[in-house]
Amino acid sequence: MSEDKNVIKFIDNELSLEVQVSPEEDTVWLDQKQLSELFDKDQSVISRHIKKIFSEGELEEGSNMQKMHIANSDKPVNFYNLDVIISVGYRVKSHRGVQFRKWANKILREYLIKGYALNPKVLSIQDYNHVVEILDNYRKVDGKLTVSSDSILDFLIAYSDGLKILDDYDHHSIQVPEGQKAIYKITYEECMDVIKKSKFQEKGDKFAIERDESFRSSIATIYQSFGGDDLYPSLEDKAAHLLYFITKNHSFFDGNKRIAATIFLYFMDKNEALFLDNKKRISEETLATLTIPIASRGPKDIELILNLIKLLIK
């Protein structure tokens, strides 16, 4: 805290901001220049995001912005409260924006699961530990703090992981965990044999008829290396790209999505990764809903879709 008790200095590595605090309003205030510094984006980008936030009705301008007089300025400056700061943070595309969303999601997840979230920097270590101890022993059911249905909805807790994946997908910030090594190398010949034995072979005379050599190429590509290192080092990398390549290359006159999904499953099975604790690692519905968007999305979404596939495999 500075000498002025209504100002907090926020410091994070090379970033230092003085933040206006309104304790009676339970909020903080930043101007566009400070938001630009916080999220490491040009002020014009921040301005456009704020205009959209207000024009789209996400927030009401009157209650979320106020004009303040600051030193070295001959006219009032627009300051925006915490709701606007959070909204901008979820829209902006930058490293700091990603870091902000990770932090915000961590706090939200903690609150949804535990029923509370604490900031140890606001409390002394003794006070913080004491509050945690009290909360951890208060109204516990099955190891979790009970909360009223008015404050937390059960379905948000039950589906918090899925909602987080959707949020990360929207903001192109899906974090892929470290993968495992593949233990089996599939071949073009055995894959063609699997396809011909599938139940779809009887659906039409063009099913599994190859247009070109791209199917053979898709299989070979996932095993490519450069300088002795695999281009797709993990099982998850190989599986995701295999599903993507076969679907997008349209290697067959008919059945490309079905064939892609079949070979994806075959690859996972041969690498002993199709089941986890005797349960399907990917449900049948998830397999279908992953394959269909691949066929319809453009090349600019490649990395996003691949990361989503790898995350769900893991």
What would the pLDDT profile of 84-100 be if each residue is shown by its tens digit?
Answer: 888 888 888 887 777 77
Residues 246 and 269 in one domain: yes
- CATH code of the domain containing 250: 1.20.120.1870
Domains of the chain: total? 3
**What pLDDT is recorded for position 69?**
80
> Is the torsion defined by CA of 219, 222, 223, 226 positive or negative?
positive
253 pLDDT exceeds 80?
yes
Residues 220 and 146 in one domain: no
Q: Residues near 257 by Cβ (< 8 Å), separated by ≥ 6?
A: 247, 291, 292, 295
Neighbours of 300 (CB within 10 A): 7
The residues pairing with 67 across neighbouring beta strands, listed in sequence order, are 78
- More confident position, 278 or 168: 278
Residues 193 and 309 in one domain: yes
- CATH code of the domain containing 12: 1.10.1660
Is 64 inside any structural domain? yes
Residues 144 and 161 in one domain: yes
Is 180 inside any structural domain? no
Of the pLDDT bands very low, low, confident and very high (cuts 50, 70, 90), residue 266 is: very high
Is 181 inside any structural domain? no
The residue type of 231 is L
Q: CA 83, CA 28: separation in Å to the nearest integer? A: 9
Residues 88 and 101 in one domain: no
The per-residue pLDDT of the chain, averaged, comes to 76
Residues 197 and 231 in one domain: yes
Q: Domain limits at 106? A: 96-170
User: Which segments of the chain does DSSP mark as H helices, in order?
Assistant: 32-39, 43-55, 61-64, 82-89, 95-114, 125-136, 154-158, 160-170, 188-197, 214-221, 235-249, 256-270, 284-296, 302-313
Is 161 inside any structural domain? yes
Domain boundary among 170, 201, 216: 170
Q: CA 234, CA 75: separation in Å to the nearest integer? A: 58
Is 182 inside any structural domain? no
Is 178 inside any structural domain? no
Domain boundary among 170, 204, 234: 170
Residues 198 and 293 in one domain: yes
- More confident position, 3 or 86: 86
Residues 196 and 297 in one domain: yes
Is 176 inside any structural domain? no
Name the percent of the chain lying above pLDDT 90: 25
Residues 142 and 156 in one domain: yes
Place of tokens 């039950």: 158
Single pTM value for the model: 0.52
Name the percent of the chain lying above pLDDT 70: 71
**What pLDDT is recorded for position 134?**
45
Of the pLDDT bands very low, low, confident and very high (cuts 50, 70, 90), residue 221 is: very high
259 pLDDT exceeds 50?
yes
How does pLDDT run across 295-314, given as a tens digit for each residue? Answer: 777 777 788 888 888 888 87
Domain boundary among 110, 143, 170: 170
Is 59 inside any structural domain? yes
265 pLDDT exceeds 90?
yes
Residues 205 and 307 in one domain: yes
Residues 236 and 257 in one domain: yes
118 pLDDT exceeds 50?
no
- More confident position, 140 or 96: 96
**What pLDDT is recorded for position 222?**
95
**What pLDDT is recorded for position 150?**
44
The residues pairing with 17 across neighbouring beta strands, listed in sequence order, are 10
**What pLDDT is recorded for position 131?**
45
113 pLDDT exceeds 80?
no
How does pLDDT run across 161-210, given as a tens digit for each residue? Answer: 777 777 777 777 777 777 889 999 999 999 999 998 887 766 556 788 89
**What pLDDT is recorded for position 17?**
54
Residues 45 and 106 in one domain: no
**What pLDDT is recorded for position 128?**
44
Of the pLDDT bands very low, low, confident and very high (cuts 50, 70, 90), residue 220 is: very high
